[in-house]
A = this chain, B = another copy of it.
């Protein structure tokens, strides 16, 4: 009844759906006890989201938070006249949502086919209040996102189009395939239009810089989406990071 649960016993309480879940390793669920997982899973729903579908709209009130189980979610902001900027990409097993804010200041949209595990706002917020470890885990993610956002500000403000495109490719290469010290291949999770919105460029400029990087043998492209990087350090140089 109280919270002094026997650990072994507690583990047995862990819901079936959570046992094989990716978010248990690295996601916020990794800091929850078996009984907490059980409580949470009662209110959670898994959803599959097609590429291009909006999860949360800019200015909408937010009813739920989620874990990303698979896929890539893009966070973007739009101006009244339609100009758009992608301000963040989130990968599994990131937590999706802005705690303590009743409405969203940005749009979250699936960039690829995506699977999420959604919980009602109130349940998560109560659990945050009760579980310092959970808040710590969320704080850690927000610090990571802040570091990434600031890195990206340097890219947006001071890099050339070529460096921007190279920076984007380098970021994707290291995120998708974290252990690729040398040689790396991946599918781009974003269309040219999305890449342009991420880099503050136009589609045409992105395309042109991609072909230039291809001509310079820094990348190799197949089917417009599949990229191989023979020497990741050369790409990093092209991105302006020395």
Contact = CB atoms under 8 A, between A and B. Distances in A.
Interface of A: 75, 77, 79-81, 83-85, 87-88, 98-101, 105-106, 132, 135-136, 138-140, 142-143, 145-147, 149-154, 156-159, 199-200, 240-242
A143 B98 contact: yes
Copy total for this chain: 2
Contacts of A132: 132, 135
B147 A150 contact: no
A80 B154 CA distance: 12
Contact of A147 (B81, B105, B135, B151): B105
The residue in A98, A150, A152 that gathers the most chain B C-beta atoms within 10 A of its C-beta is A150
Nearest to A136: B135
Contacts of A106: 150
14 contacts: A77-B151, A77-B154, A79-B154, A79-B158, A81-B240, A84-B158, A87-B154, A98-B143, A132-B132, A132-B135, A139-B139, A142-B142, A149-B150, A156-B200
A200 B149 contact: no
Contacts of A151: 77, 105
B136 A83 contact: no
A77 to B, nearest CB: 5
B156 A157 contact: yes
B105 A154 contact: no
Contact of A149 (B84, B146, B242): B146
A144 to B, nearest CB: 10
Contact of A146 (B140, B146, B242): B146
Contact of A100 (B140, B150, B200): B140
Nearest to A105: B147
Contacts of A147: 98, 105
A153 B156 contact: yes
A224 B159 CA distance: 29
Nearest to A139: B139
Nearest to A128: B136
B98 A157 contact: no
A147 B242 CA distance: 29
B143 A100 contact: yes
Contact of A142 (B77, B143, B154, B200): B143
